[in-house]
């Protein structure tokens, strides 16, 4: 039986001294190498949930068991002046100035730029290395953030709507990149937020449904797609799909 990398029990979030709840009594777990997607509608506070997992939001009560050494969080949006003259590799170096759990990582600090090149090349983004960030498309900027988050080889990766504001073709490309991440880091666990139910169903091991009235369900895509409650809440996002679960060392075509 796989040891859970993260276990959350009865998570509640409030911003008014517990008079009202943003989310209440949410429980779920994440296994090693699992891709867990969070789908949502109607101001479901999905970003707040991810920020709470990342320990950015402190307005919560819960029981949690953490079996990971490191976590990386990529927010939906980073407020940065894209006219500032900084290149991709410089941004990544700044982004990763955090103590690393592996001392050998910092002993090789002199090769850090080569490490950046290697990571960019693995994800078909080598041409971004010395590109100014203000010349990046939205998708290239998001890709830079994800690669930056992977440099430290986290056990758990949190992605808050990484496909927001990109078209369906780039959304498909994003999930191909997720497959590549799983191929390169077979033990990594990923929690991501998405509004595209069809792509979520195709590419997730498990799915959490959130809506404005709190927590709906947590199950496999096959089971969730058959639930009447999910059909009622998420009906306009639903369509036929083929499920492609992520497995170790398997690349989605």
Residue 49: what pLDDT?
87
6 located within any domain: yes
Q: Quick check: is 219 in a domain?
A: yes
In this structure, of 88-97, 100-109, 170-179, 187-196, the range with the lowest mean pLDDT score is 100-109
Task: Evaluate whether residue 32 is within a structural domain.
Answer: no
* pLDDT of residue 168 exceeding 70: no
pLDDT value of position 248? 45
φ, ψ dihedrals at 83, nearest 5°: -85, -10
* 71-129 per-position pLDDT tens digit: 999 988 777 776 778 999 988 988 776 445 454 554 455 577 888 888 888 888 889 99
3-state class (DSSP) for residue 104? helix
Which own/partner pairs from 89-94 qualify as long-range (CB within 8 Å, at least 24 positions apart)? 89/113, 89/116, 89/117, 89/129, 89/130, 91/133, 91/144, 91/148, 92/116, 92/144, 92/147, 92/148, 92/151
Give the domain CATH number at 73.
3.40.50.300
% of the chain with per-residue pLDDT over 70: 78
Asked if the model's pLDDT at residue 252 lies above 60, the reply is no
pLDDT of residue 139: 80
Q: Which domain holds residue 214?
A: 197-227+234-253
User: Please, what is the average pLDDT of the chain?
Assistant: 79
Q: How far is residue 38's CA from residue 24's CA, in Å, rounded to a whole number?
A: 16
Distances in whole angstroms, Cα of residue 148 to Cα of each of 40, 58, 116, 198, 238? 26, 25, 8, 27, 33
Please tell me the distance from the alpha carbon of residue 74 to that of residue 145, in angstroms, as a whole number: 7
Residues 218 and 253 placed together within one structural domain of the fold: yes
154 & 81 share domain: yes
Please indicate, yes or no, whether residues 178 and 245 belong to a single structural domain of this protein: no
Query: With contact defined as beta carbons under 8 Å apart, do 39 and 195 qualify?
Result: yes
Instruction: Give the model confidence (pLDDT) of 25-67 as tens digits.
Output: 889 999 999 999 998 776 667 888 888 898 887 766 677 888 9
* pLDDT reported for residue 31: 93
Percent share of the chain, pLDDT over 90: 21
For the segment 141-155, what is each residue's pLDDT rounded down to a tens digit? 888 999 999 988 899
Q: Tell me: do 15 and 84 sit in the same domain.
A: no
Q: Do 77 and 173 sit in the same domain of this protein? A: yes
Q: Same domain for 92 and 155?
A: yes
Q: State the pLDDT at residue 130.
A: 92
Same domain flag for 184 and 73: yes
Residue 251 has what pLDDT?
A: 37
Number of domains within the chain: 3
Q: Find tokens 């998001």 and name the residue.
A: 142
155 and 100 in a common domain:
yes
Instruction: Please indicate, yes or no, if residue 41 is contained in any of the structural domains.
Output: no
Identify the residue with better confidence: 5 or 106. 5
Q: What's the whole-number mean pLDDT along residues 214-243?
A: 71
């Amino acid at each position: 039986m796989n040891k859970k990398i993260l276990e959350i029990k009865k998570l509640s979030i409030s911003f008014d001294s517990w008079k009202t709840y943003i989310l209440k009594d949410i429980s779920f777990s994440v296994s090693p190498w699992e891709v867990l997607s969070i789908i949502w509608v109607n101001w479901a506070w999905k970003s707040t949930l991810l920020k709470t997992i990342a320990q950015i939001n402190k307005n919560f009560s819960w029981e949690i068991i953490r079996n990971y050494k490191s976590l990386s969080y990529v927010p939906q949006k980073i407020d940065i002046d894209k006219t500032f003259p900084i290149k991709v590799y410089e941004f990544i170096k700044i982004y990763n100035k955090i103590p690393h759990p592996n001392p050998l990582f910092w002993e090789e600090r002199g090769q850090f730029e080569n490490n950046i090149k290697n990571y960019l090349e693995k994800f078909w983004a080598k041409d971004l290395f010395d590109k100014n960030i203000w010349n990046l498309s939205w998708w290239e900027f998001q890709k830079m953030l994800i690669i930056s988050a992977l440099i430290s080889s986290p056990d758990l990766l949190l992605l808050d709507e990484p496909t927001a504001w990109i078209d369906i073709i780039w959304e498909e490309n994003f999930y191909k990149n997720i497959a590549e991440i799983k191929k390169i880091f077979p033990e990594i666990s990923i929690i991501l937020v998405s509004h595209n139910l069809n792509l979520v169903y195709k590419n997730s091991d498990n799915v959490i449904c959130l809506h404005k009235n709190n927590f709906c369900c947590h199950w496999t895509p096959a089971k969730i797609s058959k639930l009447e409650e999910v059909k009622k809440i998420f009906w306009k996002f639903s369509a036929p799909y083929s499920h492609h679960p992520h497995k170790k060392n398997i690349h989605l075509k």
